[in-house]
Structures are given as C-alpha cells and as structure tokens.
Amino acid sequence: MPTLVPILTITGSDGAGVVGVQADIRTMSALGGYALTAITSVTIQNDDGSKSIDDLPSEMIIGQVRAIVKELHPKVVKVGLVRDVATIKMLKREIVAFQNVVIVPGIFSSEGRQLVSDDAIAAMKKHLLPMATLLILRSNEAEKILDLKIKTDDDMIKAARMFVDMGAESVLLRSSKHTDGLLTALLYENDNTHFFTSHNTEGWQKHGVGGALSSAIATRLAFGDDVATAIDKAHDYMHKQVVYAVTEIIQHSRKTVIYNKLMSLVADNYNKSHDVAFYADKLCISTRYLSQVTNDVVGISPKQIISDYVIKEAKILLQSTNYSIQEISDRLGFSSQSTFSSFFIKYEKCTPTFFRLK
C-alpha cells in the first residue's frame, strides 16, 4: 500500500502529456501526493494535425472510480473533463460522500474550442457543480454556464455568488481579461472575496497551466490545507515551476537559455546573494542585458525574480519552522535582522513576526 496521500483525478487522457491525466500525475507526484486515475476519454491525433476526443463508456468510467475508492480511499477527488451526460449523472453518486471535491469543468480548450456539449454542460450544472468543495473555472466557462458577460470585478463576484447559490462551497474564477494588461482571478469563499492579478498574461494562459494549478490545489487540500492556503501554496509552486518555466521548445533563443540558467542559479544561491550583479557575473553577461532577457521572456526584472524567490522561502520558513527571525534572516543571506524585516515589510506589507502569527 502507498504511504503517500492519495488523490483521485477523473479526467481525459492526452498523449502529449501537457494536459489531462498525465499532467495531473506529474503535478501531484511532484508535490508529494499519490496520484490515482480514472480516465474518461482519449485524445487522438488525426493525420491532418487536428485532434479528436473519444469518450469511454459510462460503465467503464464508473467502474474505475468505484474500484479506486473502495481499495485506496482518496482524500480528494478532482473531476476534470467529463463529456457524457449519463456519466455525469452516475458520477454524482460516486463522489457525493467525499469531503473534498475539486471540480474543473474544462469546457473550453486553451485555444477557446468548446470541448463539452451544451447538454453535458447543463448536466454538470445540475449534478456536479453543487458537489464542489472548490469549483475552478475560467471566466469564459463561467460566462457559458451562466449565460452572462464578465466585464468587471463586480461581474466576477456576481458569477461566483451564483455558483455558490447552486451549491458550490467556494469558487476560484480565473483568467478574466477585463483590465488591459492584467489577468484577474477571484477566490470567493464564505461571502469573502480575494482578488489576484498578474501582468504575466502569457505565462498564466499557457497550455496546461490551468490543469496543473488545479492539480496542485487538490494535492494541497489532500495534505489538510484549507482552501485559501491550498491556493496560496499551489500558486507559489506554479509561479516558480510552471508559469515562469519557459522551454526551448516554445522559444528557441539564447534568451530562453539564459533565463533558465538564471532560475537555476537563483535556486542554488538565493541564500548567498540577492544582488543582480552576482547572477549576471555568473552568467558572464552585463546586468543591463540580464534585465533585457528577463523582461523579454517573462516581463519582470531580475531583481523581482530574486526577491520573489527569497520571499517564497521566507514565508515557508516562517510558516513551517520554529527558527527565530534572526535565524531565518541568516539562513536567507541577509546582513542583519533589520534588513530582512525591511525587505519583508516592503513585499508583504507586514513584519515577519506578524506574518507568522496570522
């Protein structure tokens, strides 16, 4: 029997491994979870370059789910791509007893192609969405389900409330583009709203990012995090490991190579140096050119990249260890506790001590 925390993902298979069950396994395993799977459909690459999706029979899908639940007792169930109306109705009975159910409808592909029929969307709305501990969906999917337009923050709140009224406990509404140059997301939970924004519109919309984020959230829920904490920790993982991981397959350029080397150097040296010049020297380039590289590849400065990494590590140490503030300051490579505190206040708007007590 596995000793890792089991998480069941119910979704389609994608041979390329960028999305679907293969990607879920990769993310859940990377975070220390034990990924269990029930496959709902198979993607086939056609000779003309297009893709088609073939759905498995309902009995086969439900049989997978029942066998896994009976033998391995997953802590969290994530429901992704389910396209058959009968399967959706049957699946409701299989997941109704679970304390943590993450629903990710997957109505549209990253390119905007509708993957699920209108009849299946109606069945989801009636049978699956009310089961959600956390409902995760993009704004265009919310617009489709609710038949409304999302053009403002207030529209996002209205949509989230409508999903809660249907029965979802909490809602993470992603990828709204109603503000130029920004992506906006909203967590709506217990009548509380928490907005997230990012200038990295390209990174957060890359193919597979949404699925990886939801898998990371499901894994953190399985570890016992509440919804807000699970999202925060999953976001930290995505921010460094996926959103800003630019591969040479996507961009064949020297800048991409330099950027990826920078990220490796930061991971190895963040507790030794926070100076951009240190990393530029290691890369044998000027600080000016390094700034050009990071701005071109991910849209932020090298100083911000370094600071983001240090802040992430600081928060982990504050939340998960009993080290004193001075010890954390030393471990992160600051010259003094006061310097560390000033740095932390600048980015988190509170002292390290206050952050630890929250």
pLDDT value, residue 49: 55
pLDDT(118) > 90? yes
**What are the tens digits of pLDDT across the range 332-351?**
999 999 999 999 999 999 99
Supply the mean pLDDT for the chain: 88
Q: What is the mean pLDDT of residues 107-120?
A: 90
pLDDT value, residue 52: 85
**What are the tens digits of pLDDT across the range 36-90?**
999 999 988 666 556 789 999 999 999 999 999 999 999 999 999 999 999 999 9
How does residue 122 score in pLDDT terms, banded at 50, 70 and 90? very high
Among 90-94, 196-200, 290-294, name the one with the lowest average pLDDT: 196-200
**What are the tens digits of pLDDT across the range 168-182?**
999 999 977 777 777
5-235 against 254-357: fold identical: no
How does residue 2 score in pLDDT terms, banded at 50, 70 and 90? very low
**What are the tens digits of pLDDT across the range 274-300?**
999 999 988 888 898 899 888 888 889
CATH superfamily of 254-357: Homeodomain-like (1.10.10.60)
CB neighbour burial string for 8-29, b if at least 16 within 10 angstroms, e if fewer: bbbbbbbeeebbbbbbbbbbbe
**% of residues, the chain, pLDDT over 90:** 62
CATH level 3 topology of 5-235: UDP-N-acetylmuramoyl-L-alanine:D-glutamate ligase (3.40.1190)
Domain boundaries, the chain: 5-235, 254-357
- Model's pTM, two decimal places? 0.67
How does residue 243 score in pLDDT terms, banded at 50, 70 and 90? low
pLDDT value, residue 156: 94
How does residue 272 score in pLDDT terms, banded at 50, 70 and 90? very high
Q: What is the mean pLDDT of residues 140-152?
A: 94
pLDDT value, residue 279: 93
